Chain A
Protein backbone atom coordinates (compact mmCIF):
# COMPACT_ATOMS: atom_id res chain seq x y z
CA UNK A 1 0.00 0.00 0.00
CA UNK A 2 2.81 2.41 0.83
CA UNK A 3 5.68 3.36 -1.48
CA UNK A 4 8.23 2.75 1.20
CA UNK A 5 8.45 1.83 4.85
CA UNK A 6 9.40 5.37 5.86
CA UNK A 7 5.99 6.70 4.88
CA UNK A 8 4.18 4.07 6.88
CA UNK A 9 6.51 4.63 9.79
CA UNK A 10 5.88 8.39 9.72
CA UNK A 11 2.15 7.82 9.80
CA UNK A 12 2.27 5.49 12.75
CA UNK A 13 4.78 7.57 14.72
CA UNK A 14 2.38 10.07 16.42
CA UNK A 15 0.14 7.29 17.68
CA UNK A 16 3.15 5.27 18.80
CA UNK A 17 4.63 8.21 20.72
CA UNK A 18 1.27 8.96 22.31
CA UNK A 19 0.80 5.37 23.41
CA UNK A 20 4.36 5.14 24.72
CA UNK A 21 4.13 8.32 26.78
CA UNK A 22 0.65 8.09 28.24
CA UNK A 23 0.19 4.33 28.38
CA UNK A 24 3.35 2.27 28.19
CA UNK A 25 5.59 4.42 30.41
CA UNK A 26 3.11 4.73 33.32
CA UNK A 27 2.33 1.02 33.15
CA UNK A 28 6.04 0.13 33.23
CA UNK A 29 6.67 2.52 36.12
CA UNK A 30 3.78 1.01 38.04
CA UNK A 31 4.84 -2.56 37.32
CA UNK A 32 8.45 -1.84 38.28
CA UNK A 33 7.24 -1.17 41.83
CA UNK A 34 6.67 -4.88 42.24
CA UNK A 35 10.34 -5.63 41.65
CA UNK A 36 12.01 -3.73 44.48
CA UNK A 37 12.94 -0.11 44.98
CA UNK A 38 15.45 0.36 42.16
CA UNK A 39 18.72 -0.71 43.78
CA UNK A 40 18.37 -4.36 43.02
CA UNK A 41 15.73 -6.31 41.20
CA UNK A 42 13.91 -8.94 43.17
CA UNK A 43 10.81 -11.10 42.88
CA UNK A 44 10.37 -11.21 46.64
CA UNK A 45 7.04 -9.34 46.41
CA UNK A 46 5.69 -12.12 44.15
CA UNK A 47 6.91 -14.82 46.51
CA UNK A 48 5.33 -12.99 49.45
CA UNK A 49 2.08 -12.56 47.55
CA UNK A 50 1.68 -16.20 46.65
CA UNK A 51 2.77 -17.41 50.07
CA UNK A 52 -0.36 -15.99 51.70
CA UNK A 53 -3.28 -18.36 51.67
CA UNK A 54 -5.86 -15.59 51.16
CA UNK A 55 -4.06 -14.50 47.98
CA UNK A 56 -3.88 -18.10 46.73
CA UNK A 57 -7.61 -18.47 47.27
CA UNK A 58 -8.35 -15.22 45.48
CA UNK A 59 -6.05 -16.10 42.57
CA UNK A 60 -7.62 -19.52 42.07
CA UNK A 61 -11.14 -18.15 42.44
CA UNK A 62 -10.48 -15.49 39.81
CA UNK A 63 -9.04 -18.09 37.44
CA UNK A 64 -11.94 -20.48 38.08
CA UNK A 65 -14.71 -17.91 37.63
CA UNK A 66 -13.12 -16.41 34.50
CA UNK A 67 -12.74 -19.90 32.98
CA UNK A 68 -16.31 -20.89 33.87
CA UNK A 69 -17.75 -17.68 32.45
CA UNK A 70 -15.73 -18.15 29.25
CA UNK A 71 -16.86 -21.77 28.86
CA UNK A 72 -20.51 -20.96 29.56
CA UNK A 73 -20.50 -17.99 27.20
CA UNK A 74 -18.97 -20.17 24.46
CA UNK A 75 -21.74 -22.76 24.80
CA UNK A 76 -24.57 -20.23 24.96
CA UNK A 77 -22.83 -17.98 22.43
CA UNK A 78 -22.58 -20.69 19.72
CA UNK A 79 -26.24 -21.57 20.04
CA UNK A 80 -27.33 -17.93 19.94
CA UNK A 81 -24.96 -16.92 17.14
CA UNK A 82 -25.96 -19.90 14.99
CA UNK A 83 -29.64 -19.05 15.39
CA UNK A 84 -29.05 -15.37 14.65
CA UNK A 85 -26.95 -16.00 11.52
CA UNK A 86 -29.72 -18.15 10.05
CA UNK A 87 -32.39 -15.47 10.49
CA UNK A 88 -33.61 -13.39 7.53
CA UNK A 89 -31.56 -10.15 7.15
CA UNK A 90 -34.13 -7.86 8.81
CA UNK A 91 -34.56 -10.04 11.88
CA UNK A 92 -30.83 -10.62 12.07
CA UNK A 93 -30.17 -6.87 12.33
CA UNK A 94 -32.81 -6.44 15.03
CA UNK A 95 -31.66 -9.35 17.16
CA UNK A 96 -27.99 -8.34 16.82
CA UNK A 97 -29.02 -4.88 17.98
CA UNK A 98 -30.68 -6.41 21.03
CA UNK A 99 -27.55 -8.43 21.78
CA UNK A 100 -25.41 -5.29 21.60
CA UNK A 101 -27.86 -3.18 23.62
CA UNK A 102 -26.63 -4.25 27.09
CA UNK A 103 -23.12 -3.10 26.14
CA UNK A 104 -24.50 0.42 25.91
CA UNK A 105 -25.85 0.38 29.45
CA UNK A 106 -23.52 1.25 32.30
CA UNK A 107 -22.18 -1.86 34.04
CA UNK A 108 -23.06 -0.21 37.36
CA UNK A 109 -26.75 0.01 36.42
CA UNK A 110 -26.76 -3.54 35.05
CA UNK A 111 -25.09 -4.91 38.15
CA UNK A 112 -27.46 -3.05 40.47
CA UNK A 113 -30.33 -4.63 38.60
CA UNK A 114 -28.90 -8.04 39.49
CA UNK A 115 -28.73 -6.95 43.11
CA UNK A 116 -32.50 -6.55 43.02
CA UNK A 117 -33.25 -9.59 40.85
CA UNK A 118 -31.10 -12.00 42.87
CA UNK A 119 -32.17 -10.70 46.30
CA UNK A 120 -34.20 -12.75 48.77
CA UNK A 121 -37.31 -10.84 47.79
CA UNK A 122 -36.23 -10.66 44.15
CA UNK A 123 -37.74 -12.10 41.03
CA UNK A 124 -35.62 -15.27 40.92
CA UNK A 125 -36.42 -16.30 44.48
CA UNK A 126 -40.11 -15.49 44.12
CA UNK A 127 -40.23 -17.68 41.03
CA UNK A 128 -38.35 -20.53 42.73
CA UNK A 129 -40.69 -20.50 45.72
CA UNK A 130 -43.82 -20.15 43.56
CA UNK A 131 -42.85 -23.10 41.36
CA UNK A 132 -42.06 -25.12 44.48
CA UNK A 133 -38.37 -25.67 43.72
CA UNK A 134 -37.48 -24.18 47.06
CA UNK A 135 -39.30 -23.87 50.39
CA UNK A 136 -37.71 -20.58 51.35
CA UNK A 137 -35.70 -17.92 49.51
CA UNK A 138 -32.16 -18.95 48.65
CA UNK A 139 -29.34 -16.51 49.29
CA UNK A 140 -27.65 -15.74 45.99
CA UNK A 141 -26.15 -12.35 46.75
CA UNK A 142 -22.52 -12.21 47.81
CA UNK A 143 -21.82 -15.72 46.57
CA UNK A 144 -19.73 -16.97 43.64
CA UNK A 145 -22.96 -17.85 41.87
CA UNK A 146 -24.03 -14.19 41.86
CA UNK A 147 -20.66 -13.06 40.51
CA UNK A 148 -20.79 -15.79 37.84
CA UNK A 149 -24.27 -14.72 36.70
CA UNK A 150 -23.31 -11.04 36.67
CA UNK A 151 -20.11 -11.61 34.69
CA UNK A 152 -21.80 -13.95 32.22
CA UNK A 153 -24.50 -11.41 31.47
CA UNK A 154 -21.87 -8.67 31.19
CA UNK A 155 -19.61 -10.42 28.70
CA UNK A 156 -21.85 -12.85 26.79
CA UNK A 157 -22.59 -10.20 24.10
CA UNK A 158 -18.88 -9.99 23.24
CA UNK A 159 -18.78 -13.75 22.62
CA UNK A 160 -21.99 -13.74 20.57
CA UNK A 161 -20.79 -10.88 18.37
CA UNK A 162 -17.41 -12.52 17.76
CA UNK A 163 -19.11 -15.78 16.84
CA UNK A 164 -21.70 -14.11 14.60
CA UNK A 165 -18.99 -12.56 12.46
CA UNK A 166 -17.06 -15.85 12.40
CA UNK A 167 -20.16 -17.81 11.37
CA UNK A 168 -20.99 -15.29 8.69
CA UNK A 169 -17.57 -15.79 7.13
CA UNK A 170 -18.13 -19.53 7.00
CA UNK A 171 -19.02 -20.90 3.52
CA UNK A 172 -22.83 -21.06 3.32
CA UNK A 173 -22.93 -24.61 2.00
CA UNK A 174 -20.56 -26.14 4.54
CA UNK A 175 -23.23 -27.22 7.01
CA UNK A 176 -25.80 -28.51 4.46
CA UNK A 177 -22.98 -30.35 2.66
CA UNK A 178 -21.90 -32.06 5.86
CA UNK A 179 -25.50 -32.99 6.64
CA UNK A 180 -26.06 -34.41 3.13
CA UNK A 181 -22.94 -36.49 3.58
CA UNK A 182 -24.50 -38.02 6.68
CA UNK A 183 -22.89 -36.14 9.57
CA UNK A 184 -25.01 -35.76 12.70
CA UNK A 185 -25.27 -32.34 14.42
CA UNK A 186 -22.51 -33.11 16.91
CA UNK A 187 -20.19 -34.08 14.05
CA UNK A 188 -21.21 -31.01 12.09
CA UNK A 189 -20.30 -28.85 15.05
CA UNK A 190 -16.98 -30.45 15.95
CA UNK A 191 -15.73 -31.23 12.41
CA UNK A 192 -17.13 -28.30 10.43
CA UNK A 193 -18.37 -25.32 12.44
CA UNK A 194 -15.75 -25.31 15.18
CA UNK A 195 -12.68 -25.50 12.90
CA UNK A 196 -14.11 -22.85 10.57
CA UNK A 197 -15.01 -20.41 13.36
CA UNK A 198 -12.10 -20.94 15.71
CA UNK A 199 -10.76 -17.44 15.09
CA UNK A 200 -14.00 -15.96 16.40
CA UNK A 201 -13.93 -18.29 19.37
CA UNK A 202 -10.36 -17.26 20.20
CA UNK A 203 -11.21 -13.56 19.97
CA UNK A 204 -14.47 -13.90 21.91
CA UNK A 205 -12.87 -16.21 24.46
CA UNK A 206 -9.98 -13.81 25.07
CA UNK A 207 -12.34 -10.86 25.45
CA UNK A 208 -14.63 -12.72 27.86
CA UNK A 209 -11.82 -14.27 29.89
CA UNK A 210 -9.82 -11.05 30.19
CA UNK A 211 -12.96 -9.06 30.88
CA UNK A 212 -14.16 -11.44 33.60
CA UNK A 213 -10.76 -11.45 35.23
CA UNK A 214 -10.35 -7.69 35.27
CA UNK A 215 -13.95 -6.65 35.92
CA UNK A 216 -14.23 -4.62 39.08
CA UNK A 217 -17.80 -3.39 39.48
CA UNK A 218 -19.57 -6.74 39.20
CA UNK A 219 -17.48 -8.66 41.74
CA UNK A 220 -17.44 -5.62 44.01
CA UNK A 221 -21.23 -5.26 44.09
CA UNK A 222 -22.41 -8.85 43.75
CA UNK A 223 -19.52 -10.55 45.56
CA UNK A 224 -18.33 -7.94 48.01
CA UNK A 225 -15.48 -8.78 50.32
CA UNK A 226 -16.83 -12.30 50.84
CA UNK A 227 -16.02 -13.21 47.25
CA UNK A 228 -12.78 -11.30 46.70
CA UNK A 229 -11.33 -11.49 43.21
CA UNK A 230 -7.92 -10.19 42.09
CA UNK A 231 -9.36 -6.90 40.93
CA UNK A 232 -11.26 -6.20 44.15
CA UNK A 233 -8.21 -7.30 46.15
CA UNK A 234 -6.07 -4.85 44.15
CA UNK A 235 -8.47 -2.02 44.94
CA UNK A 236 -8.46 -2.98 48.61
CA UNK A 237 -4.66 -3.03 48.77
CA UNK A 238 -4.42 0.48 47.30
CA UNK A 239 -7.27 2.29 49.03
CA UNK A 240 -7.07 0.62 52.40
CA UNK A 241 -3.40 -0.09 52.88
CA UNK A 242 -1.81 2.31 50.37
CA UNK A 243 0.16 -0.78 49.36
CA UNK A 244 1.23 -0.13 45.78
CA UNK A 245 3.69 -3.02 45.77
CA UNK A 246 0.97 -5.67 46.13
CA UNK A 247 -1.19 -3.71 43.70
CA UNK A 248 1.59 -3.77 41.15
CA UNK A 249 2.08 -7.50 41.71
CA UNK A 250 -1.63 -8.15 41.13
CA UNK A 251 -1.65 -5.92 38.04
CA UNK A 252 1.18 -7.89 36.45
CA UNK A 253 -0.48 -11.19 37.34
CA UNK A 254 -3.65 -10.00 35.58
CA UNK A 255 -1.71 -8.93 32.48
CA UNK A 256 0.18 -12.22 32.33
CA UNK A 257 -3.03 -14.21 32.77
CA UNK A 258 -4.70 -12.29 29.94
CA UNK A 259 -1.83 -13.04 27.54
CA UNK A 260 -1.66 -16.64 28.73
CA UNK A 261 -5.37 -17.10 28.08
CA UNK A 262 -5.00 -15.74 24.56
CA UNK A 263 -2.05 -18.03 23.81
CA UNK A 264 -3.80 -21.03 25.29
CA UNK A 265 -6.96 -20.46 23.27
CA UNK A 266 -4.92 -20.04 20.07
CA UNK A 267 -3.03 -23.23 20.86
CA UNK A 268 -6.28 -25.13 21.45
CA UNK A 269 -7.67 -23.85 18.18
CA UNK A 270 -4.67 -24.93 16.10
CA UNK A 271 -4.43 -28.29 17.85
CA UNK A 272 -8.01 -29.06 16.87
CA UNK A 273 -7.27 -27.98 13.33
CA UNK A 274 -4.36 -30.41 12.88
CA UNK A 275 -6.40 -33.41 13.85
Chain B
Protein backbone atom coordinates (compact mmCIF):
# COMPACT_ATOMS: atom_id res chain seq x y z
CA UNK B 1 0.00 0.00 0.00
CA UNK B 2 2.04 2.93 -1.24
CA UNK B 3 -0.41 5.47 0.19
CA UNK B 4 -0.10 4.12 3.70
CA UNK B 5 3.68 4.00 3.42
CA UNK B 6 3.76 7.57 2.25
CA UNK B 7 1.64 8.71 5.16
CA UNK B 8 3.83 6.88 7.64
CA UNK B 9 6.96 8.28 6.12
CA UNK B 10 5.68 11.83 6.33
CA UNK B 11 4.52 11.28 9.89
CA UNK B 12 7.97 10.03 10.82
CA UNK B 13 9.56 13.02 9.14
CA UNK B 14 7.26 15.40 10.99
CA UNK B 15 8.09 13.77 14.30
CA UNK B 16 11.82 13.95 13.74
CA UNK B 17 11.59 17.61 12.73
CA UNK B 18 9.68 18.56 15.86
CA UNK B 19 12.08 16.50 18.00
CA UNK B 20 15.00 18.38 16.51
CA UNK B 21 13.21 21.66 17.20
CA UNK B 22 12.69 20.74 20.84
CA UNK B 23 16.39 20.07 21.28
CA UNK B 24 17.36 23.39 19.84
CA UNK B 25 17.19 25.87 22.71
CA UNK B 26 15.82 29.31 21.99
CA UNK B 27 15.82 32.38 24.20
CA UNK B 28 13.58 35.28 23.24
CA UNK B 29 14.41 38.73 24.60
CA UNK B 30 12.67 42.08 24.20
CA UNK B 31 14.92 45.16 24.21
CA UNK B 32 15.10 48.85 23.24
CA UNK B 33 15.89 49.31 19.57
CA UNK B 34 19.06 51.36 19.94
CA UNK B 35 22.71 50.25 19.44
CA UNK B 36 21.69 46.80 18.29
CA UNK B 37 24.82 46.35 16.16
CA UNK B 38 27.01 46.88 19.19
CA UNK B 39 24.85 44.64 21.36
CA UNK B 40 25.06 41.87 18.78
CA UNK B 41 28.82 42.02 18.71
CA UNK B 42 29.44 42.48 22.43
CA UNK B 43 26.65 40.46 24.01
CA UNK B 44 24.40 38.44 21.70
CA UNK B 45 26.99 36.59 19.62
CA UNK B 46 29.16 35.57 22.60
CA UNK B 47 26.05 34.36 24.41
CA UNK B 48 24.87 32.22 21.51
CA UNK B 49 28.30 30.71 21.29
CA UNK B 50 28.42 30.00 25.00
CA UNK B 51 24.97 28.47 25.39
CA UNK B 52 24.74 26.73 22.03
CA UNK B 53 21.28 28.17 21.65
CA UNK B 54 19.48 30.60 19.43
CA UNK B 55 18.79 34.12 20.65
CA UNK B 56 15.71 35.83 19.23
CA UNK B 57 15.77 39.61 19.72
CA UNK B 58 12.58 41.68 19.55
CA UNK B 59 12.90 45.46 19.56
CA UNK B 60 10.56 48.42 19.79
CA UNK B 61 9.55 51.22 22.11
CA UNK B 62 8.55 50.22 25.61
CA UNK B 63 4.82 50.85 25.14
CA UNK B 64 4.66 48.50 22.15
CA UNK B 65 6.76 45.85 23.80
CA UNK B 66 4.81 45.91 27.06
CA UNK B 67 1.54 45.72 25.13
CA UNK B 68 2.83 42.62 23.40
CA UNK B 69 3.85 40.95 26.66
CA UNK B 70 0.42 41.75 28.08
CA UNK B 71 -1.31 40.30 25.00
CA UNK B 72 0.67 37.03 25.24
CA UNK B 73 0.22 36.73 28.98
CA UNK B 74 -1.34 33.25 28.79
CA UNK B 75 1.41 31.80 26.63
CA UNK B 76 4.50 34.03 26.95
CA UNK B 77 6.73 34.44 23.91
CA UNK B 78 9.29 36.71 25.58
CA UNK B 79 11.55 35.18 28.23
CA UNK B 80 13.41 38.29 29.32
CA UNK B 81 12.60 41.96 28.78
CA UNK B 82 14.55 45.15 29.26
CA UNK B 83 12.44 48.12 30.41
CA UNK B 84 12.57 51.19 32.63
CA UNK B 85 12.42 50.81 36.38
CA UNK B 86 8.98 52.42 36.43
CA UNK B 87 7.58 50.12 33.74
CA UNK B 88 9.02 47.17 35.64
CA UNK B 89 6.99 48.02 38.72
CA UNK B 90 3.84 48.49 36.62
CA UNK B 91 4.44 45.14 34.89
CA UNK B 92 5.02 43.43 38.22
CA UNK B 93 1.75 44.83 39.55
CA UNK B 94 -0.05 43.56 36.46
CA UNK B 95 1.33 40.08 37.18
CA UNK B 96 3.48 40.00 34.05
CA UNK B 97 6.83 39.26 35.71
CA UNK B 98 8.37 36.75 38.13
CA UNK B 99 10.82 37.11 40.97
CA UNK B 100 14.47 36.95 39.91
CA UNK B 101 16.36 34.11 41.60
CA UNK B 102 19.52 36.09 42.33
CA UNK B 103 21.28 33.04 43.80
CA UNK B 104 21.77 31.94 40.19
CA UNK B 105 23.50 35.20 39.23
CA UNK B 106 27.22 34.93 39.92
CA UNK B 107 27.69 38.65 39.20
CA UNK B 108 24.89 39.89 41.46
CA UNK B 109 27.20 40.99 44.29
CA UNK B 110 29.24 43.15 41.93
CA UNK B 111 26.28 45.47 41.27
CA UNK B 112 25.84 48.88 42.86
CA UNK B 113 23.33 48.51 45.69
CA UNK B 114 20.81 50.77 43.94
CA UNK B 115 20.73 48.33 40.99
CA UNK B 116 20.24 45.14 42.98
CA UNK B 117 16.52 45.50 43.54
CA UNK B 118 15.41 48.93 42.28
CA UNK B 119 11.74 48.57 43.16
CA UNK B 120 12.18 46.58 46.36
CA UNK B 121 10.00 43.75 45.11
CA UNK B 122 12.70 41.36 43.91
CA UNK B 123 11.22 41.43 40.40
CA UNK B 124 13.92 43.35 38.54
CA UNK B 125 17.68 43.89 38.28
CA UNK B 126 19.18 47.20 37.13
CA UNK B 127 21.79 46.86 34.37
CA UNK B 128 22.42 50.49 33.49
CA UNK B 129 21.53 53.99 34.58
CA UNK B 130 21.92 57.48 33.35
CA UNK B 131 22.08 60.95 34.84
CA UNK B 132 19.84 63.69 33.53
CA UNK B 133 20.97 67.27 33.54
CA UNK B 134 21.13 70.27 31.23
CA UNK B 135 23.25 70.62 28.11
CA UNK B 136 23.88 74.34 27.56
CA UNK B 137 25.86 76.88 25.55
CA UNK B 138 28.47 78.14 28.00
CA UNK B 139 29.15 81.25 25.86
CA UNK B 140 25.51 82.36 26.02
CA UNK B 141 24.42 81.53 29.56
CA UNK B 142 25.30 79.91 32.87
CA UNK B 143 23.39 77.19 34.64
CA UNK B 144 23.71 77.01 38.39
CA UNK B 145 20.17 75.91 39.14
CA UNK B 146 17.44 74.09 37.26
CA UNK B 147 15.41 77.30 37.65
CA UNK B 148 17.91 79.08 35.36
CA UNK B 149 16.15 77.36 32.47
CA UNK B 150 13.20 79.68 32.97
CA UNK B 151 15.25 82.88 33.40
CA UNK B 152 13.78 85.79 31.43
CA UNK B 153 16.83 86.41 29.23
CA UNK B 154 17.29 82.81 28.04
CA UNK B 155 13.90 81.11 28.22
CA UNK B 156 13.19 81.86 24.56
CA UNK B 157 16.24 79.75 23.67
CA UNK B 158 15.30 76.74 25.79
CA UNK B 159 13.73 73.42 24.76
CA UNK B 160 12.13 71.30 27.46
CA UNK B 161 11.14 67.64 27.30
CA UNK B 162 7.45 66.91 26.91
CA UNK B 163 5.83 65.46 30.01
CA UNK B 164 5.13 62.28 28.03
CA UNK B 165 8.84 61.51 27.62
CA UNK B 166 11.04 59.87 30.24
CA UNK B 167 12.98 63.12 30.67
CA UNK B 168 9.81 65.19 31.17
CA UNK B 169 8.93 64.27 34.76
CA UNK B 170 12.64 64.20 35.69
CA UNK B 171 13.08 67.80 34.56
CA UNK B 172 9.89 68.93 36.31
CA UNK B 173 10.94 67.10 39.47
CA UNK B 174 14.28 68.94 39.58
CA UNK B 175 12.59 72.22 38.63
CA UNK B 176 10.24 71.68 41.57
CA UNK B 177 13.23 71.24 43.88
CA UNK B 178 14.70 74.48 42.57
CA UNK B 179 11.41 76.31 43.09
CA UNK B 180 11.16 74.98 46.63
CA UNK B 181 8.19 72.65 46.13
CA UNK B 182 8.95 68.93 46.03
CA UNK B 183 5.34 67.79 45.98
CA UNK B 184 5.04 64.70 43.73
CA UNK B 185 2.05 66.23 41.93
CA UNK B 186 4.59 68.55 40.21
CA UNK B 187 1.91 71.26 40.18
CA UNK B 188 4.31 74.12 40.96
CA UNK B 189 6.91 73.33 38.26
CA UNK B 190 4.21 72.59 35.67
CA UNK B 191 2.54 75.94 36.44
CA UNK B 192 5.93 77.68 36.15
CA UNK B 193 6.51 76.10 32.74
CA UNK B 194 2.95 76.96 31.73
CA UNK B 195 3.61 80.65 32.40
CA UNK B 196 6.54 80.61 30.00
CA UNK B 197 5.09 78.21 27.44
CA UNK B 198 4.94 80.79 24.67
CA UNK B 199 8.58 81.74 25.09
CA UNK B 200 9.95 78.19 25.39
CA UNK B 201 11.07 77.07 21.94
CA UNK B 202 9.53 73.61 21.99
CA UNK B 203 8.61 70.67 24.15
CA UNK B 204 10.65 67.94 22.54
CA UNK B 205 9.66 64.32 22.21
CA UNK B 206 12.93 62.91 20.85
CA UNK B 207 16.29 64.07 22.13
CA UNK B 208 17.84 63.35 18.71
CA UNK B 209 15.97 66.43 17.42
CA UNK B 210 17.82 68.69 19.84
CA UNK B 211 21.21 68.31 18.20
CA UNK B 212 20.01 70.07 15.07
CA UNK B 213 18.24 72.81 17.06
CA UNK B 214 21.43 73.40 19.02
CA UNK B 215 23.47 73.47 15.82
CA UNK B 216 21.09 76.05 14.29
CA UNK B 217 21.32 78.15 17.47
CA UNK B 218 17.57 77.81 17.80
CA UNK B 219 18.20 76.67 21.36
CA UNK B 220 20.97 77.28 23.89
CA UNK B 221 19.90 74.79 26.52
CA UNK B 222 17.90 71.61 27.01
CA UNK B 223 17.61 68.96 29.71
CA UNK B 224 18.80 65.60 28.39
CA UNK B 225 19.82 62.14 29.55
CA UNK B 226 23.52 61.36 29.62
CA UNK B 227 23.01 58.74 26.89
CA UNK B 228 22.26 61.57 24.45
CA UNK B 229 25.29 63.66 25.46
CA UNK B 230 27.76 62.34 22.91
CA UNK B 231 25.79 63.99 20.08
CA UNK B 232 26.25 67.39 21.76
CA UNK B 233 29.84 67.00 22.88
CA UNK B 234 30.88 66.32 19.29
CA UNK B 235 29.47 69.63 18.06
CA UNK B 236 31.80 72.47 17.22
CA UNK B 237 30.15 74.71 19.81
CA UNK B 238 30.96 75.50 23.46
CA UNK B 239 28.43 73.14 25.05
CA UNK B 240 28.68 72.07 28.68
CA UNK B 241 27.01 69.53 30.92
CA UNK B 242 25.50 71.43 33.86
CA UNK B 243 25.96 70.47 37.49
CA UNK B 244 23.10 72.41 39.08
CA UNK B 245 23.10 72.95 42.81
CA UNK B 246 19.94 70.85 43.24
CA UNK B 247 21.84 67.92 41.76
CA UNK B 248 21.14 65.74 38.73
CA UNK B 249 18.20 63.49 38.13
CA UNK B 250 18.31 60.23 36.27
CA UNK B 251 16.79 56.89 35.53
CA UNK B 252 17.57 53.21 35.57
CA UNK B 253 16.80 50.46 33.10
CA UNK B 254 16.20 46.98 34.39
CA UNK B 255 15.84 43.37 33.27
CA UNK B 256 12.72 41.41 34.11
CA UNK B 257 11.65 37.79 33.63
CA UNK B 258 8.26 37.18 32.05
CA UNK B 259 5.85 35.25 34.26
CA UNK B 260 5.49 31.67 33.14
CA UNK B 261 8.22 31.89 30.51
CA UNK B 262 9.69 28.50 29.62
CA UNK B 263 13.41 29.17 29.37
CA UNK B 264 14.06 30.44 32.87
CA UNK B 265 17.55 28.99 33.32
CA UNK B 266 18.67 30.24 29.95
CA UNK B 267 17.25 33.69 30.74
CA UNK B 268 19.15 33.82 34.04
CA UNK B 269 22.32 32.70 32.26
CA UNK B 270 21.86 35.55 29.77
CA UNK B 271 21.17 38.04 32.57
CA UNK B 272 24.30 36.93 34.40
CA UNK B 273 26.45 37.37 31.31
CA UNK B 274 25.05 40.87 30.69
CA UNK B 275 25.92 41.87 34.28
CA UNK B 276 29.43 40.42 34.10
CA UNK B 277 32.38 42.79 34.45
CA UNK B 278 33.64 41.84 31.00
CA UNK B 279 30.41 42.58 29.11
CA UNK B 280 29.59 45.69 31.15
CA UNK B 281 33.09 47.02 30.48
CA UNK B 282 32.76 46.40 26.75
CA UNK B 283 29.35 48.10 26.65
CA UNK B 284 30.78 51.06 28.57
CA UNK B 285 33.85 51.39 26.36
CA UNK B 286 31.64 51.50 23.30
CA UNK B 287 29.48 54.16 25.02
CA UNK B 288 26.42 51.93 24.72
CA UNK B 289 25.40 51.77 28.39
CA UNK B 290 26.79 53.09 31.67
CA UNK B 291 27.79 50.20 33.92
CA UNK B 292 25.73 48.96 36.88
CA UNK B 293 28.60 46.65 37.80
CA UNK B 294 30.89 48.51 40.24
CA UNK B 295 33.96 46.48 39.22
CA UNK B 296 33.96 48.05 35.76
CA UNK B 297 36.95 50.38 35.22
CA UNK B 298 37.10 52.75 32.26
CA UNK B 299 39.39 55.58 31.18
CA UNK B 300 38.60 59.18 32.14
CA UNK B 301 37.78 59.96 28.57
CA UNK B 302 35.14 57.22 28.41
CA UNK B 303 33.85 58.08 31.89
CA UNK B 304 33.28 61.65 30.69
CA UNK B 305 30.56 60.40 28.38
CA UNK B 306 28.91 58.03 30.82
CA UNK B 307 27.15 58.02 34.15
CA UNK B 308 30.09 56.46 35.88
CA UNK B 309 31.40 56.01 39.39
CA UNK B 310 30.00 55.35 42.85
CA UNK B 311 29.72 59.06 43.73
CA UNK B 312 27.77 59.95 40.61
CA UNK B 313 25.45 57.01 41.10
CA UNK B 314 24.89 57.79 44.77
CA UNK B 315 23.89 61.39 43.99
CA UNK B 316 21.26 60.73 41.34
CA UNK B 317 17.80 61.94 42.31
CA UNK B 318 15.65 59.15 40.90
CA UNK B 319 11.87 59.39 40.99
CA UNK B 320 10.63 56.32 42.89
CA UNK B 321 8.66 54.06 40.54
CA UNK B 322 5.61 54.04 42.78
CA UNK B 323 5.48 57.84 42.80
CA UNK B 324 5.73 57.90 39.01
CA UNK B 325 2.94 55.36 38.58
CA UNK B 326 0.63 57.00 41.12
CA UNK B 327 1.06 60.47 39.64
CA UNK B 328 1.30 59.88 35.92
CA UNK B 329 -2.33 60.75 35.18
CA UNK B 330 -2.13 63.88 37.36
CA UNK B 331 1.04 65.01 35.61
CA UNK B 332 -0.49 64.53 32.18
CA UNK B 333 -3.78 66.29 32.92
CA UNK B 334 -2.02 69.10 34.79
CA UNK B 335 0.38 69.52 31.85
CA UNK B 336 -2.41 69.45 29.29
CA UNK B 337 -4.27 72.16 31.21
CA UNK B 338 -1.36 74.49 31.85
CA UNK B 339 1.08 73.84 29.02
CA UNK B 340 -0.49 71.67 26.33
CA UNK B 341 -2.68 74.21 24.59
Contact = CB atoms under 8 A, between A and B. Distances in A.
Interface string B301-338: 00000000000000000000000000000001000110
Interface residues of A, number: 25
B204 A224 contact: yes
A246 B204 CA distance: 22
Contacts of B203: 224-226
A24 interface: no
A129 B64 CA distance: 46
Interface stretch (A25-33, A113-121, A164-172): A113-121
Interface string A214-254: 00000001001110100000001011111000000000000
Contact of A121 (B209, B216, B336, B340): B216
B71 to A, nearest CB: 11
Interface in B57-97: 61, 63-64, 66-67
Contacts of A241: 63, 164, 332
Residue from B64, B156, B162, B202 with most neighbouring chain A CB atoms (10 Å)? B202
Interface in A189-234: 221, 224-226, 228
A139 interface: yes
Given A54-B341, A236-B164, A224 B218 contact: no
Contacts of B67: 242
A225 B162 contact: yes
A96 interface: no
Classify the interface of chain B: helix, strand, loop or mixed.
mixed
A141 interface: yes
A84 B212 CA distance: 38
Contacts of A58: 341
A224 B205 contact: yes
Contacts of B164: 225, 236, 240-241
Interface residues of B, number: 24
Contacts of B201: 139, 141-142
Contacts of B156: 139
A241 B336 CA distance: 14
Contacts of A119: 216-218
A55 to B, nearest CB: 9
A53 B341 contact: yes
B202 A240 contact: no
A121 B156 CA distance: 14
A-B pairs, 4 with minimum CB distance = A240-B164, A119-B216, A142-B202, A57-B341
24 contacts: A52-B336, A53-B341, A54-B337, A57-B341, A58-B341, A119-B217, A120-B217, A120-B218, A121-B217, A122-B216, A139-B201, A141-B218, A142-B202, A224-B202, A224-B203, A225-B164, A225-B204, A226-B197, A226-B203, A239-B61, A240-B63, A240-B164, A241-B63, A242-B66
Given A121-B216, A225-B205, A226-B202, 16 more contacts: A52-B336, A54-B336, A54-B341, A57-B341, A115-B216, A119-B218, A121-B218, A141-B201, A141-B202, A141-B218, A224-B204, A225-B202, A239-B61, A241-B63, A241-B164, A242-B67
